[in-house]
Amino acid sequence: MRHALRIVWMAAEVQARELAVSGFMLFAAVFQPFFIGVTAMFMLRHRPDFDPVYVIVGTALTGLWSTLLFSGSGVINHERWMGTLELLAASPTSLFLIFSGKLIGTLVFSLLSLVLSYAIGALLFGYDVTIADPLGFVVSMLFALVSLWALGMLFAPLGILWRTVGRFLTGIEYPVYALAGFLFPILLLPVWSIPISYALSPYWAAEALHGASRGELDLAGLARTWLFLAITGAVAIVAAYRLFGVVLVRARRAGTLALS
Amino acid sequence: MRLFFVTADYSFRALFHWVQPAQYLIYRALFPLTQLGFFALVGTYGGSQPISFYLVGNVIGTATITVFGVSQAVADERQQGTLSYLLASPAPRVPVFFGRATLHVVDGMLNMAAAVAIAVFVFGLQLPMERLTGLVIAMLVATIAICGVGLLMGAMALIVLDSAILANFAMFVILLLSGANVPLSELPGFAAAAGEAMPLTRSIAAARLYAGGAPLEAGLGLLAGDLLVGALYAVAGYALFTWLESTARRRGRLEGV
């Protein structure tokens, strides 16, 4: 167990260090949420029931999602470009464990967008930012992070097993902003798209965090969102585990790891 | 002229990696169209402006995606290892530099046409048919003007090494300050002034006039202003490009100016 945790910790640290000097990922975690947050603050502040916390939480979620999406879908390809994928696949350490750590590093890095979103509301616009249910918010954040991490783990092998799927993944950034209701309620979307929203962990993350931050959900309501975050996360991680197995089969039996 | 069009063709096809249609569709169609939908829905939820305000603003705003293509067409010469061959050639620099934006104008127009179709058929935007000419001219001017920013970003990327980040910055700054989503009157004074100095600001205003039924003459002044602003950015990009070239020759450090 200690051995596994050590590997996860080291992989997370290396990943966080790499992201901290990646201009593109810094843009996704810091600058893009800044522009989206400021734009959304201007666009939503005329609502009679305007609550800056709604924009802050929604903006933070866009940063979390974008960072996870781009990092998750490219994390294996990045190793391939660096020439280290074959070494990782051949090592006795579980590939799944290594990339688990890497995406934990990504999640920690992406929390920058949460800090930045708070700064937009509190410092740039001068709003009094208060979380209605701090404990519920913290628990919701933990559930959200674990569930989003699981989704990132699912994206990682997809990008290498099917190149077109990998490219398509980078195009779902804004659709998920909309389908998950980060900055507007999904009731504005067509009825047929609502079941898709329900199947997405980012939607339940937004429900939980918006609900806790604005005090709109009681404990039962929050528990319901946590349950769905746990279910969507579990489905994603089981699927990811199987796909990582396929990646290893390709590496060891077919010998086409670097050729997909 | 031959060099201009050869540069346009090859820089579009070879430098932007669009060998596969799937990649082309994702980066040049799916992304801007979903961006249009997202901002239109945020605006609708905000409720301070009618949805047509956001739809027209973001239809023209999809022109910002052109910045990526144009800037990469300039900056990727270094990444592909062809910058030294280009600069060593006796070819005149004006067609070599400005030709890179040509096909992106056509491409940007196709992109915007798709955005208009989405705005009309998905979001129910009502456009007066007799004012479509004005709207198409506004779209064309917006695309040409934004190419100026792309050329400048491409030349700048030869210094800072990453055209994608510069293009992303340009896109979000323009979407925030050009009035696509936030009326300039609501922005702080310095931000509104910066918005006035950017391409698309006047094209968006003109497109909104035409979508509201105004005659063609009403927006021509605005469109001429946007063309001028775009031209200034393009000339600034060319000046930077030629300065970088002469500096690189003088110092013998082409890859590390």
DSSP string, B25-70: HIIIIIHHHHHHHHHHHHHHHH-SS-HHHHHHHHHHHGGGGHHHHH
The interface predicted TM-score of the complex, written ipTM, equals: 0.85
A-chain residues near B39 (CB < 8 A): 39, 43
**pLDDT value at position A224?**
96
Write the residue in B22, B26, B41 that is nearest to A184 by C-beta: B41
CA distance A26 to chain B (A): 10
Structural domain total, chain B = 1
**pLDDT value at position B254?**
66
pLDDT-wise least confident of A168-172, A188-192, B177-181: A168-172
- Mean model confidence pLDDT for chain A: 88
Q: How long, in residues, is chain B? A: 257
**pLDDT at A169 exceeding the cut of 60:** yes
pLDDT-wise least confident of B49-53, B103-107, B142-146: B103-107
**pLDDT value at position A135?**
95
Domain of residue B156, residue span: 2-256
**pLDDT value at position B29?**
67
CB contact at 8 A, B54 and B183: no
CB contact at 8 A, A163 and A260: yes
**pLDDT at A259 exceeding the cut of 70:** no
The percentage of chain A sitting over the pLDDT mark of 90, rounded to a whole number, equals 45
Please give the C-alpha separations between residue A15 and each of A72, A100, A101, A105, B162, in angstroms, as whole numbers.
11, 11, 8, 5, 21
For an interface test with A, which of B19, B25, B38 has the most A Cβ atoms less than 10 Å from its Cβ? B38
Across the interface, do A164 and B41 touch by the CB < 8 Å criterion? Answer: no
Burial code (b: 16+ CB inside 10 Å, e: under 16) for B229-254 equals bbeebbebbbebbeebbeebeeeeeb
CB contact at 8 A, B181 and B51: no
The band of A162, judged by pLDDT with boundaries at 50, 70 and 90, is confident
**pLDDT value at position B74?**
74
B107 vs A196: CA distance, rounded Å: 32
Cα angle B84, B89, B93; round to 5:
95
Burial class (CB in 10 A: 0-12, 13-18, 19+), A76: buried
**pLDDT value at position A42?**
93
- Chain A residue closest to B177 (CA)? A39
The band of B108, judged by pLDDT with boundaries at 50, 70 and 90, is confident
pLDDT-wise least confident of A55-59, A77-81, A130-134, B148-152: A77-81
DSSP string, B89-153: S---HHHHHHGGGHHHHHHHHHHHHHHHHHHHHTT-----GGGHHHHHHHHHHHHHHHHHHHHHH
**pLDDT value at position A90?**
82
pLDDT-wise least confident of A94-98, A132-136, A237-241, B246-250: B246-250
pLDDT-wise least confident of A97-106, A202-211, B61-70: B61-70
**pLDDT value at position A146?**
95
**pLDDT at B5 exceeding the cut of 90:** no
B12 vs B100: CA distance, rounded Å: 7
Q: pLDDT (tens digit, 9 = 90+) per residue, A41-79? A: 999 998 988 889 999 999 999 999 998 888 888 888 888
Report the pLDDT averaged over residues A202-228. Answer: 95
**pLDDT at B221 exceeding the cut of 70:** yes
Q: pLDDT (tens digit, 9 = 90+) per residue, A220-236? A: 999 999 999 999 999 99
Across the interface, do A184 and B42 touch by the CB < 8 Å criterion? Answer: yes
Q: pLDDT (tens digit, 9 = 90+) per residue, B9-52? A: 776 766 555 556 666 776 666 776 788 889 999 999 998 899 99
Entry pTM: 0.86
The percentage of chain B sitting over the pLDDT mark of 70, rounded to a whole number, equals 89
Burial code (b: 16+ CB inside 10 Å, e: under 16) for A83-121 equals eebeebbeeeeebbbbbbbbbbbbbebbbbbbebbbebb
A230 vs A222: CA distance, rounded Å: 12
> Which single residue is written with the structure tokens 């329900």?
A198
B-chain residues near A185 (CB < 8 A): 45
